[in-house]
Amino acid sequence: MPDGVFAVAIIFMVIVAPVWIIFHYVTRWRIAKTLSADDEQMLSELWHSANKMEDRIRQLEKILDAEAPGWRAKA
């Protein structure tokens, strides 16, 4: 009987334990890879801010084009 227990222990250590550890860390990696609710909200706010800044820059460029037509060549 002790030989059977020893064989089961060896099989567990060689096959089951490594697979178990690999799946554990793969699961942890997938959980860490996803965005939390706070991260999603912050990303949404940053996206909105970037769009507002892009609109402002376009408006400023239109104003500069009207008031100082050669400003792009100077920059």
Condensed to tens digits (0 to 9), the pLDDT of residues 19-37 reads: 999 999 999 998 888 888 8
User: What three-state secondary structure class fits 68?
Assistant: coil
pLDDT of residue 34: 83
Please return the burial class of 66, using the count of CB atoms within 10 Å of its CB with bins 0-12, 13-18 and 19+: exposed
pLDDT of 73 over the 90 cut: no
| Residue 5: pLDDT over 90 | no
Lowest-confidence range among 5-9, 60-64, 65-69, 71-75? 71-75
